[in-house]
Structure 1
Amino acid sequence: MCGVRSITVVALILLSLSSVVRPCPPSDRAALLAFKAALHEPYLGIFDSWTGADCCHKWYGVSCDQGTRRVADINLRGESEEPIFQRKRRTGYMTGYISPAVCRLKRLSSLTIADWKGISGEIPRCITSLPFLRIVDLIGNRLSGALPADIGRLHRLTVLNVADNRISGVIPASVANLTSLMHLDLRNNLITGPIPRSFGRLGMLSRALLSGNKLSGPIPGSVSQIYRLADLDLSRNEISGPIPEALGKMAVLSTLNLDMNKLYGPIPVSLFSSGISDLNLSRNALEGNIPDAFGVRSYFTVLDLSYNRLIGPIPNSISSASFIGHLDLSHNHLCGKIPLGSPFDHLEASSFQYNDCLCGKPLKPC
């Protein structure tokens, strides 16, 4: 019996020892403190909890892998519904820069430093050495400089969001190597140059939001090879050339915003019998007739063809569309009678103004 008791006591001791949670490695803690030292947050006290030996325990915005105890996630958002923001009744404001010390967190899976408005400097080039990185979300700061040229090394990356910053330079060709990427958001920056020809290699991509930059050159034909792409926004750039016909043959594309570019040539017929429901081609140099290609597959919540060089009549087949919510054909060179029936019976004159010789309701009688 004594032997049994001894074994039981030893087992209990071993069990109690195994249940003690290990703290994070000192190297990860030191990297986080160096990261913190480069930032200044004066209002909310975001970093007040970053004390003690275990950076995995109640450090605000820090999460660790339960097995390895290595830092896996940094999630710091300047706009949040968490209590620390509600008590202060304000959004966050932070200055400083993203320290390269973050790259010492070798098991980092997600890096979110978003909507702080005052964080400047460049994206640390060394983040491309973090093999487990899946999410990079740096929206809403004042980051400048170019995207890391070798960003394509991040083969696990699913989200890359640097919208609403001051990022310049070109889209690196290596972006095409991000074959796990699902969400790409580069909106409202200063990015120049062409969209890489090999863009179509991003086979998992569902959203490509590149609006509000200074991109130039044509829309790569390879874009149409991205089977999962549902949302393509290239608006407010300097993109030129014709619209690829193949865009209208994409399986799940539902939003196509190409407005405020330098596109020319005819509108592809395929766009009007596709699955696209939000189509904005306004403020380009598109020419020719509006294709007489509407049918039961044509379902548009938004169809904006305004401010182009379109000629001829409004096609009668528009009336056979399943639905058209907002339609804008203004500021073209259209001529002829506005068709009767849906959707024309609920549209205002502003949808047709500033054409050469359109007539009929809601404009003047023919």
Structure 2
Amino acid sequence: MENTILLILFLASCVLTPALSELCNPQDKQALLQIKKELGNPTALSSWLPTTDCCSPTWPGILCDPTFRIFLMELSDYNFNLSQAHSIPPSIANLTYLDSLSLTRIPNLIGPIPSTLTRLTRLKHLTISHTNISGNVPHFLSKIKTLLTIDLSNNNLSGNLSPSLSSLPNLSDITLNNNRISGPIPDSFGSFANLLGWRISRNRLSGKIPATLAKLNLAFVDLSQNMLEGDASVLFGTWKHTRYIFLSKNSLAFDSGKVRLPKKLEGLDISRNRIYGRLPQGLTALKSLRWLKVSFNNLCGEIPQGGSLRRFNASSYVYNKCLCASPLPPCKAY
């Protein structure tokens, strides 16, 4: 009888020990297993098993916080590959402690961004890039007030920019490069409270750059390769801390001689536009300037000499109306 009792206790301990040692929250684990199912049970997630701890290193793409809640999900081509097309799993919204969500370089990820993501009330970093997701840049992202960064680059997103995005109080960086986003830049985008980086190159934006953007103090702005027109001088200013301004391959037209450059500017590309006048004042005073492209415009006048401009050859200036002086041919004497 005593031996029988000891055997029962031994078997019970074998069953209970894994459960007692498991750190992962049961609700999070259930959500992860459902996500795996919604993605078609890919082989890359074969180690996501009901019998193992989801806070352990055997669960790729997952990290737990000190309270053993899932705070990071990062699935990419390095650890993940879908054999068939699937949409973004709605069950991701059940990981309510997520701080960072990253789905990158998954070409078989299709469909729109699910509105269930609004339940992620702690989410700070959202990255969905190099996929085939489609639809608009969702207006409902403005409901996730904790967001600090949004990267939706290199997808098949279309439609217009949502004015409501500017209501995100803490957003510091938004990247939407290489999609099919069209229409104008909303006037409301001048109301971002803490935006520092804005990248939306290689899209189909059109119309004029709103005057309201003059209020922004961006560190990095890239509006290149769109169909924007008119005056972009609102993006400049000596009081701003902007380091990079990339506006190439648009239809912008303004007098660059009246522009006042940010003092810490490191990169300026206004090439392939319809910009006229002289080169911006203060170019030679920019000690940190590392990149300059003003080619293929209607600029005129003598190229300033000295300072950081010694770094740049003729390719930075060619195909303008009448720019002259080194490194281009000398100015003509009249």
TM bucket normalised to smaller = 0.7 to 0.9
Match of 1:95 in 2: 82
CA contact (8 A) 2:257 2:281 kept: no
Q: 2:236 aligns with which of 253, 266, 271?
A: 271
- Rounded to whole Å, the distance in 1 between the matches of 2:234 and 2:274 is 16
- Rounded to whole Å, the distance in 1 between the matches of 2:141 and 2:76 is 28
**Aligned-partner SS, 1:139:** strand
Match of 2:7 in 1: none
Q: Which amino acid aligns with 2:59?
A: Y
Q: Which amino acid aligns with 1:204?
A: N
Q: 1:348 aligns with which of 313, 324, 330?
A: 313
Q: 1:222 aligns with which of 184, 188, 191?
A: 188
Report the Cα offset of residue 213 of structure 1.
Answer: 0.6
- Tell me: CA distance 1:184–1:33, structure 2 relative to 1, closer, same or farther (3 Å): closer
Report the Cα offset of residue 227 of structure 1.
Answer: 2.4
- Rounded to whole Å, the distance in 2 between the matches of 1:27 and 1:133 is 13
Match of 1:169 in 2: 135
Report the Cα offset of residue 170 of structure 1.
Answer: 0.6
Q: Which amino acid aligns with 2:152?
A: L
Structure 1 vs Structure 2: percent identity of aligned residues?
31
Unaligned 5+ runs, structure 1: 1-16, 80-90, 98-119
Report the Cα offset of residue 344 of structure 1.
Answer: 2.7
Report the Cα offset of residue 204 of structure 1.
Answer: 0.8
Match of 1:41 in 2: 43
CA contact (8 A) 1:331 1:355 kept: yes
Report the Cα offset of residue 257 of structure 1.
Answer: 0.4
Structure 2 length-normalised TM: 0.80
Report the Cα offset of residue 131 of structure 1.
Answer: 3.9
CA contact (8 A) 1:330 1:355 kept: yes
Report the Cα offset of residue 247 of structure 1.
Answer: 3.0
Structure 1 length-normalised TM: 0.74
- Tell me: CA distance 1:52–1:58, structure 2 relative to 1, closer, same or farther (3 Å): farther
CA contact (8 A) 2:76 2:106 kept: no
Unaligned 5+ runs, structure 2: 1-16
Q: 1:256 aligns with which of 221, 229, 251?
A: 221
CA contact (8 A) 1:153 1:177 kept: no
Match of 2:5 in 1: none
Match of 1:52 in 2: 51
Q: Does 1:211 align with 2:197?
A: no
- Tell me: CA distance 1:291–1:248, structure 2 relative to 1, closer, same or farther (3 Å): farther
- Rounded to whole Å, the distance in 1 between the matches of 2:79 and 2:299 is 50
- Rounded to whole Å, the distance in 2 between the matches of 1:25 and 1:131 is 11
- Tell me: CA distance 1:237–1:78, structure 2 relative to 1, closer, same or farther (3 Å): closer
**Aligned-partner SS, 1:198:** helix
- Tell me: CA distance 1:32–1:213, structure 2 relative to 1, closer, same or farther (3 Å): closer
Aligned ranges 1:74-85 → 2 under 5 Å: 75=73, 77-78=75-76
Report the Cα offset of residue 226 of structure 1.
Answer: 2.0
